[in-house]
Structure 1
Amino acid sequence: MIKNILYFVVLTGVVCQSYGQSLVNDGAEIMLQESAVVFSTESFVNRNNGQIKGDGTMDFAEAMNFAVINPGVVIGDLSFDSSLINSSAAGFMLDIQGNAGIGIENGHDHVFVDGDLVMNGILDIATIDGFVPATTDSFTIISYTGNISGQFTAVTLGGNLTGFAVDYTLPGQIRLVHESILSVQEATIESLQVFPNPTNDFIYIRSLDKIDRVEVYNLIGKQVLVTTKTDKVDLGRLAKGMYLVKIYSEQKFNVKKIKVQ
């Protein structure tokens, strides 16, 4: 049985349920407010120019997008607690208000997928409120925990994003970065060792190549540490969990997954 949603607004704290059936948004706007949750034991389909907007979680066995995903009212963070399959008709409309972080005021829109991600369709992204990003800024626009296949088939950059491009090189993240950053390619750093793993505090980095910089990201793409003191890196202040450690050497980098316990 398919349930069509003609108009659907999820207000603060309201949880919408549909057990044993799929949900189909047929051209309406679904607005999630203040971490609201929409869930079903089956699948969700967004189609016919339907829009998923706001801040909250879509919790389904699987989500299929044939229309528009547009986080936030101004800036927002939308989560899918499942795989997300995007068709060629899919569109992502994202804004960058500043470099304060993911899904917060003066930050940028973000989509989180707790599962596999099939990319397709169009990315339409722009700066707002006069924000001008620096060439060193990077914006994690989509994070995912599973495997990824495909890429956006077209990208439209608005506002002050001249020289920026989409980057798929970091595991678990799709970022918007300046083209000067993309000139650094992922390649093998000779005899690279990162230990211990897991760690309680420090990691040690050894290589025959000179290490220039180390960046540490959590699994939703937020940079939590950057340092040029590269032989011994202190992770002791980070919360327990998994992190991506990006290690730079001249025009190349490697990424290692490290557990802090």
Structure 2
Amino acid sequence: MKKQYLTFVLVLLTIMLQAQDAYQYSLSFLGVNPATDNYQMALLATPNFDAPNGNTADLGAAFYVPEGLGISIGNFQAADSGIPAGEWIGYSSGTDAGKELFQILRVPGVTNYFINAENGVPIQLAVFDIIATTNPTTGTITLANNDDPFVLATFSENFLNVSFTGTTTNYFGAHDATANSINFETLSVDEILVTDSVKLSVYPNPASNVIHISATFPVEKVALYDVTGKLVLRSNDTKQIQVNTLNAGMYLLKIYANQQTLTRKVLIE
């Protein structure tokens, strides 16, 4: 009987934890900031619940990049959440095992900013640059977990303080395992010489069914990545690729030719 009771308690606790209102963090690549030529990223938060008029308080997120790339975080811009750029700061928390840990923090100002929680709909909390002399072409930017020893040692935990009921609560739950990392290699552009006699066309853009590729040089293969750097399609058909089964959004098309690659951003509707 005691064993059955313990099992029941464990099952009940699991259900309660699964039912807890929380947000998942994820990263999104927005492209190259035209004002700075740096890679521009967004921190997203996706709720598993519905609630109106959440008064945002202090927020934070931690992530790793490879050590030694000379990277800093900054050039914050106002996000879709309405949180002003001036309320965000970014800094390095140090290095550990070949990785550099960064944290971005929101320090609220005098004006309140409210968000609505809609189950499954991401909110863009912050927009920032990966600042470097040259945009990185290797390694990843990866959200760091709160149980990571170095995160704990440097007090760099992820948190998302919001008040939906009059009481400010930390609603951070976890990272989205499918969108917690972006591969810099898939964002880099190793240009193939395109002149009057060497041309490349990718069309239509935006596309909804088929993307056509026209080149005056031999193309070996093509690959399509989402903004997190995840490979979603690879094809040896170098003339066209079917995209009608993919979710709408921004993708990166990599075209391989003569031991070089050319990357183009494509929008799928």
TM-score, with structure 1 as normaliser: 0.39
Structure with bigger gyration radius: 2
TM-score (norm 2): 0.38
* Structure (1/2) with the larger strand percentage: 1
Higher RCO structure, 1 or 2 (CA under 8 Å, sep 6+): 2
* Structure with the largest fraction of helix: 2
